[in-house]
Amino acid sequence: MSATIYDLAKEAGVSISTVSKALNDSYSISEKTKKRIREIADSMGYQPNARARSFARKKNGIVIFAANLSRGIGFENPHLFEIVTGLDRYLDERGYSLVLKHVTREDAPVQIKELMNSEEADGIILHAGILSRQLAFVLGKEAYPHLVIGKPDFPNTLSWIDVSHEAAGQIAADYLLDKGYRRIVFLMGDSNDDQISLRRLDGIKIAFEEEELSIETITGICDYEKSREITETILERKRIPEVILCTNNYLALGCIQSIRAKNLSIPKDIALMTFDNYPFSMLAQPTLTAIEVDMYEMGNQAARFIVQRIKKPNLQTQSFCTTPILIEREST
């Protein structure tokens, strides 16, 4: 059992309130007393009891990260954990703890409401994947510190932070146009599900329209296999495009396979570029030019916001964060 302030008080010959104030660096305690009490605390290996402290302070220094943490997610979406790492590091440094909570989209409204009412945490960060209008309503009603990671796809009054996929798209397009490429095909997933790609496409279009050009977009390409197939048909055209731009590494891999099968060379016969640097654009043959996003940094930013909100619950943050970076490699 660890020492309490009662033990310290007895040892120091003062009252517990003096001890408490001394340890919390209150202005009303003399430096001399503070120093003495701190020394005693050290020598007795005193650690304030976190539970009692939380109770008395009405704060526990906990921030929840709520997301759908399904089996395999670590492999499927390491970005998520890069965010978590960024969150955790910032919070740790400031004495906060990050709690992970698995929440599904369906259960979120009820569960999140319970979390807020029980005051289990001082604030909550939510992954946009579990967001619904209903949840937005729950969050909007209370003045509970929150932040959504990912831009909600409906009107709301929530605080959120996101990667600027539009900027990423624009950077990619600008780069390709600068290199002199004109006939470009963009491969992405279902136009209903793949919101991220749509936003990238918005950015791409902006860049193209500036040059009075347009981009060919093929949707419904949601995996490696589909990408191989579509690339095959693309390569059978009389006039093949100059570049294929893929919305992720897996699609790019499909392209590589098909291009190689045709004995074409990248980037001589056709260039290739991808969004995301993960998981193997640096390992592919040839290595792929890619647009990378710093998710760790975004986690950091998010943590910064939530801590701010915990301290000043009334200010609303509706923000936008981005650092897409272009990594030029062999494939363009």
Partner DNA sequence: TTGTATGCGTTATCAG
Partner DNA sequence: CTGATAACGCATACAA
**Among 35, 39, 43, 53, contact with DNA (rule: CB under 7 A):** 53
Please, what is the minimum distance in Å from the beta carbon of residue 99 to its own copies? 5
The interface mask with its own copies, positions 77-106, x = CB under 8 A, is -xxxxx-xxx-xx--x----xxxxxx----
What is the C-alpha radius of gyration for the chain, rounded to an integer number of angstroms? 26
The label of the residue with tokens 């909570």 reads 101
Candidates 15-23, 130-138, 229-237, 300-308: pick the segment binding DNA (CB under 7 A).
Answer: 15-23
The verdict on 51 binding its own copies (CB under 8 A) reads yes
Number of residues near DNA (by CB under 7 A): 29
Residue 34 beta carbon to DNA: minimum distance, rounded to whole angstroms: 7
Instruction: Report helix, strand or coil for 1.
Output: coil
Query: Does residue 279 touch its own copies according to CB under 8 A?
Result: yes
Q: Is the distance from CB of 92 to CB of 115 less than 8 angstroms? A: no
Name the 3-class secondary structure at 189: coil
Q: Answer yes or no whether residue 286 interacts with its own copies by CB under 8 A.
A: no
Q: In this complex, which beta carbon is closest to its own copies, that of residue 204 or of residue 266?
A: 266
**How many angstroms separate the most distant Cα atoms in the chain?**
93
Q: Which residues pair with 25 in a beta bridge?
A: none
Q: Which two tokens stand for residue 249?
A: 């590494």
**In what order do the strands lie in the sheet containing 289-293?**
216-218, 184-187, 243-246, 271-275, 289-293, 324-327
Of 157-165, 203-211, 213-221, 273-281, the segment contacting its own copies by CB under 8 A is: 273-281
Do residues 221 and 230 lie in contact, with contact meaning Cβ atoms separated by under 8 Å? yes
Q: How far apart are CA 55 and CA 99, in angstroms?
A: 18
Report in angstroms the alpha-carbon separations of 222 from 79, 159, 229. Answer: 18, 30, 12
The DSSP H or E segment spanning 274 is strand 271-275
The pattern of x and - marking residues 232 through 261 that bind its own copies according to CB under 8 A reads: ------------------x--x---x----
Among 14, 139, 173, 266, binds DNA (CB under 7 A): 14
Of residues 143 through 162, those in contact with its own copies by CB under 8 A are none
- Decide whether 118 or 263 has the Cβ nearer to DNA: 118
Binding window for its own copies (CB under 8 A); candidates: 65-73, 183-191, 239-247, 267-275: 65-73
- The phi and psi torsions of 275 (rounded to 5 degrees) equal -85, 150
Q: How many C-beta neighbours within 10 Å does residue 57 have?
A: 10
- Residues in the site for DNA, rule: CB under 7 A? 4-6, 13-18, 20-21, 23-24, 26-33, 48-49, 52-53, 55-58
Contact positions toward its own copies, by CB under 8 A? 2, 45, 47-52, 54-55, 58, 60, 62, 69-75, 78-82, 84-86, 88-89, 92, 97-102, 114, 117-120, 224, 250, 253, 257, 278-280, 283, 285, 295-296
